[in-house]
Amino acid sequence: MSRTVQKRQRQPKALSVEEFRKLLEHIPEPFRTMCIVAICLGLRVSEILGLRWRDIDWEGLRLAIQQAYVYGREGDVKTQASQRWMPLDRLLAGKLRQYKENSAPFANPEAWIFANPETGRPYWPGRIQENWLVPAAQRAGLGRIGWHSFRHSHSTLLHALGVDLKVQQELLRHADIRTTMNIYTHAVPLALREANSKVVRLVLPAQVA
């Protein structure tokens, strides 16, 4: 078997909007909201687990990607291009507000958004995948999926919506982007916000906000 074929077989499954919604029917909180954030923003699971409430700018509707959480430790994001402000669509912001009210209404800004209540630290992604994502995908008839399936799905949706390639690269924060935002002073460019909103509004129903 050629190396090219082997690489294609390892490519993550891209979920359609319908498949994603079917998957969510079998996933409880807080993992359900984690999956929504993953597909709406295309974040890596380490970046999702690294989110703190301070990273959300509710008024500016943006999300700061400043750190990652890997193997029980907080650390840097994958590349310099990965560290930046991301657009936060109004519907997704509403979903996160709802999640905060239900799970951590009095959480301080330094608290992790997706913390295990038993430890106060972020969950282990491998355990979530094997205990919840994989069984849910099987029940939904989707085969095996992993965390990177959501990032791959986000990329596929951007492409299907006809989003400019440069905007896709900016939203996915690939390492080959040479110019990066200063996460403390720069606003989210309008083109990025509009492209991201197209994906979010495909995934989330309007009633969420």
Q: Which residue has the higher pLDDT, 2 or 65?
A: 65
CATH class of the 20-204 domain in this structure: mainly alpha
pLDDT at 57: 95
Q: What angle do CA 108, 98, 36 make, to 5 degrees?
A: 100
Check whether 2 has a pLDDT greater than 70.
no
More confident residue, 167 or 116: 116
Residue 143, sorted as left (phi over 0), alpha (psi -120 to 50) or beta, turns out to be left
Confidence of residue 195 (pLDDT cuts 50, 70, 90): confident
The mean per-residue pLDDT over the stretch 16-38 comes to 96
Contact 78, 44 (CB under 8 A): yes
Summary mean pLDDT of the chain: 82
- Reported as a pLDDT band with limits 50, 70 and 90, residue 209 is very low
- Does the pLDDT value for residue 83 go beyond 80? no
Tokens standing for 183? 């996460």
Q: Give the pLDDT band (50/70/90) at residue 168.
A: confident
In angstroms, rounded to a whole number, what is the distance separating the alpha carbons of residues 142 and 47? 25
Q: What is the DSSP string of 147-160?
A: THHHHHHHHHHHHH
Q: Which residues are CB-contacts of 202 (< 8 A; sequence separation ≥ 6)? A: 17, 157, 161
- Residue ranges of the domains in the chain? 20-204
CA dist 33 and 24 (Å) reads 9
For the chain, what percent of residues have pLDDT higher than 90? Answer: 52
Task: Please tell me the total number of residues recorded for the chain in this structure.
Answer: 209
Q: Which residue has the higher pLDDT, 158 or 206?
A: 158
Query: How many whole angstroms separate alpha carbon 159 and alpha carbon 116?
Result: 35
- Averaged over 71-90, what is the pLDDT? 72
**173-191 average pLDDT score:** 45
158 pLDDT band, cuts 50/70/90, is: confident
Give the whole-angstrom CA distance, residue 161 versus residue 208: 22
* Helix H or strand E segment including 109: none
Q: Look up residue 194 and give its amino acid.
A: E
Q: Point out which residues pair with 70 in neighbouring strands.
A: 73
